[in-house]
Structure 1
Amino acid sequence: MAKFTIPVSSRRLYKLLGLFAIAIITIVIIVKGTDITSSLSGPIDGKSDYVQGSKKANAPKKARTKYDDKYKYVKYSIPEYKGEKVRATFVTLARNKDLNGLRETIKSFEDRFNSKFQYDWIFLNDSEFNDDFKVTMTALISGEVKFGIIPKEHWSFPSWIDQDRAADTRKEMKDIIYGDSISYRNMCRFESGFFWRHPLLDEYEYYWRVEPDTKLYCDVDYDIFRFMKDNDKKYGFTISIHEYRATIPTLWDTTVEFINLHPEYVAENNMLDFVSNDDGMSYNLCHFWSNFEIASLDFWRSDAYRDYFDYLDHAGGFFYERWGDAPVHSIAAALFLNRTQVHHFDDLGYYHGPFHQCPTDEKIRLANRCDCDPNRDFTWRGYSCGKKYYKVNNLAKPKNWADYSK
């Protein structure tokens, strides 16, 4: 049988037709791919909005804050929370260099709590946040993210401070933690008297303070802000501790002076017995560790706290000593709030080096998927003020608390 062959000229024609077909298919794929990319990332026009991607193919895209197009990304998607939220926000004081320390922290708080409720998050800095910081935080957070600059007058020496005296204090306190630091004093003064005055917080009732390099150990399946509001709680904490006496030698005396001028501000059912062991004659140094606090902004906006802070500020102790925002907040909460308005979140595992709060109740740890070691819990140890808080408020301690007190 004769072998069938295709003439050379025909083979060339078929080859050319094949190449043409491949080219057409390639063009179709490229065009389709561009459409898919555009549907995920939005228009590439140099001014694209950040959008929240969706797991549903036809779900509407939610516009985010505008940034340069070089930072386009697809934001992670979760079901929108449909419940009634409180006017509340997270607040973080940070610098651009804190970005690495914040990534894990933000993911912890989002995974454990905020992805379920999608509250806003405000970042404050004494200088402009860079694009890398803004883009990273916006991508990690489920709620709306806002960035603010601290006014210079809130992060500097006030006019009445004697600069020479303040400098001498820093020299004398050089061997005390942050004793020689100006920036730390600016931070303590800002957190005491100004963060809640920033315009970005004006629309909110409650806040949750979060700092870099902190962590939530346990799932939080209830709306903490709703809990605060519904139960008339004004201040919530996890860790309590004794302050360094050398940093606040005259803070209590200054507080007593203020109370003598304004006895009307002291709550009837106050918690003086938490901060003083002798009915107000002296300060026992107990305070709530304010790197974690969930509190009412209206409390700080009240006449009692405003007048108290202004009195302390003009006394100069933030610069002539090293008054911290933690004892200032704690003393104010103990004196100006009813004791029922202060709450210990014993179910929240929390870490800020070097201290841990880990629920000692195994049922709580297992139910909330806590990834912490109760043997490292600080609540019941000697330098903590946990036992003091529970005693003066007649609160029941966990059954096995003594096992974790050594």
Structure 2
Amino acid sequence: MSLLSKEKALIENDYFQVWEIVEMLSKGGFNLWEEVGEFLGHHNFDTELTLYCRDSFHRMHEVRNDYAPIRNLIHGLHVAWLEGEESIQKIKIDIIGYYWAKHEIFNFKPIMDLGIIEKPQTQVVTLQSVQESRPDKYKFFLYKQPLFSIDECACIISDYDPLEIQKYPHNDIDEIAPDYSRAYSFISSAIEANKLNVFNYKVDADGFREYLASENIIIAGFNDQIAEPLYTKPTQARAEFEKINANLELDLAIEKNKVKKLNEEIDHLKAHIAELESKKMQFLQKENATNDQEINLTNSDLLLISVLLRMLQNEIRVKGNKSQSKILLRIEDEHRSIKGLSKSRTEKVLANANSLYKALINNQMK
């Protein structure tokens, strides 16, 4: 007797090998492989039946969201007539580790209608009898696993032994173990919502414990040790959070007020600078400009100045002194008592004088 004889017997009792079903459908060669493949494909054996895989340690695992093994089987059988009988051995080797649960086969009408499999007499099992007869020693090892299947997660929540659940007809599980069925749906939806970490179709144990605690599902001996730090002092944690948040909001309001005042001061300084710049420009313009009121000479005086300067120009042979304005400036340089002949005022006086002189000459020419 092998060390795993009990486990092997349990697999044989609860599962059909996929290839075992294929051989039943073939009836020892009476039905062609092609016909068997067509039958499997026509009745959607790839999606209608839950597929299981046995690992090298004789543990059964549900194959989820992977239809390739059965679809490859269907395709291989369908084209066996083309590739020859030798292809059957390869197909068998590829599918040998896959199983279908007997309770699903017994409730799958397309194959049961063929009469090739005898359905066992239905065993009436009540929820009360299941729960009363179940020992709890399985929890010792189950709770220590680092990973759980969805079935095991549902069993932990609903307080069922996973091995016992496997014995019940799949189609009747809602009536036999409604708590398990609800727990299974709960875990499936959590996985779809990415609230649980899944690795190779397995749920991380620590993440599962924390998730249950976050949903206020506390299971004695499983996640009650993390329930207290997570949930006994929510008010204190919340109060601390609100206190920190209030302090941060106050600091933010103070800083915003400081920024507002600084911006107001900056605007005030900009306005003051603009005012000073304007006054500076006005002062420079006033200082550099020659007011017309400063020139109070009569027309005759201006004409005299213009005539004298022109005559003086004609007499002066020095190239640098031929400009009227330069002559006046030189006069000021040589005679210290004469002041006020600034360049701007000199040019203004000469402009007015020359204008009158030009008009006088034009009138004489007429």
Q: Which has the higher contact order (CA 8 A, sep 6+)?
A: 1
TM-score scaled by structure 2? 0.22
Report which of the two has the higher share of helix: 2
Report which of the two has the higher share of strand: 1
Name the larger-Rg structure: 2
